[in-house]
Amino acid sequence: MKIALCSSFVPFVNGGYRNIVEWLETMLLEAGHEVERIYLPEADSPDILFRQMAAFRFVDLDAADRIICFRPQSHLIRHPHKIVWFIHHLRAFYDLWDNPDYRGFPDDARHRGIRTALRAADTAALREARRVFSNSRVVSQRLATYNGIDSEPLFPPVLRPERFRFRGMNDEIVCICRLEHHKRQHLLVEALKYCQSDVRLRLCGLSAGTGYSAAVAQWAHDWGVSDRLTIDERWISEDEKAELLADCLAAAYLPLDEDSYGYPTIEAAHAGKPVLTASDAGGVLEFVTDGTNGLVADPDARSVAQAMDRLFEHREATRQLGEAAAARIGEMNIAWPHVLERLLA
């Protein structure tokens, strides 16, 4: 089958939104399909939003037997056999509209008009699809709430999960993801000043700008915890992830209302390590259950510190949480054979 994988991207910014496309491409090629990957640049600026949407609308992929669309606004592409694996909305116009820190533009008549037109266009394009999948129950609920679209949660696996392994447990909790304010690495750093144990923290990943990572480093200095913190601000390769997770005590992933469980969660689970997250982390909570396969803290530094100490001081219990996290992958059927079966049905 000739399959086109269609998505948008932010130039020079890598992340899980590319992995879901490129890892699926690898699996489809191994299954004997012909695959083309199509990316168009996309920015959330209201001033250029509809021009970008028009560009997607005029893409001609009639040579493909099927297209699979991911990141917005790729679902606007027209095709008689369009499948959508929806990973998030343009959230500033949807669930983050009432949060001015993330919206980034005023709640006025002009922008409310843009929001209304955007939602109408999204809904119409999604209704063209033969099937709509989501990457989490959270996103399925948003599709139902805002667009009246039913969707099937289809959880994204990682590529080559066998590369992850348990090798031991050192004194570090690692957080491997982009260094961004909404990922809340600052909450982990602030928690260090309340920790009673000798637990250490390692933050790994790139940032879209220098402001947040510099602020985190300054806060660590101000709070007197720099000696227990390592910030590795660079792109972390897949092999490096596996090495870090093999030896760490546990992983941490505390985004604000994340769309799905996120690759950091599932990567840690493959390595037999539990994840520390927060009670408002969104889709992460579809995977992590407090005290069963990870720890869920309140989104404040003292609560996070207590969880970090618990992981450090009760290592056998931490090991058992990691084993349960690995088992959770099978319970949720997070596997490429299942993904291919559903997308190609």
Phi-psi region of 324 (alpha: psi -120 to 50; beta: other; left: phi over 0): alpha
Distances, alpha carbon 285 to alpha carbons 92, 156, 330, in Å: 22, 15, 16
Each domain of the chain, given as residue ranges in start order, spans 2-154, 161-331
3 state SS of 275: strand
For the chain, 345 residues long, give each residue's pLDDT as a single digit of tens: 999 999 998 887 777 788 999 999 999 999 999 999 999 998 888 999 999 999 999 999 999 999 999 999 999 999 999 999 999 999 999 998 998 878 889 999 999 999 999 999 999 999 999 999 999 999 999 999 999 999 999 999 999 999 999 999 999 999 999 999 889 999 999 999 999 999 999 999 988 766 898 999 999 999 999 999 999 999 899 999 999 999 999 999 999 999 899 999 999 999 999 999 999 999 999 999 999 999 999 999 999 999 999 999 999 999 999 999 999 999 999 999 999 999 999
Same fold, 2-154 and 161-331: yes
The model carries a pTM of 0.91
Helix axes 301-313, 185-192, angle to 10 degrees: 70
C-beta atoms surrounding 62 within 10 Å: 8
Is CATH 3.40.50.300 the right assignment for the domain spanning 161-331? no
Token pair 């005590």 in the structure block, residue: 249
The CATH fold assigned to 2-154 is Rossmann fold (3.40.50)
Give the largest CA-CA distance in the chain: 62
C-beta atoms surrounding 287 within 10 Å: 26
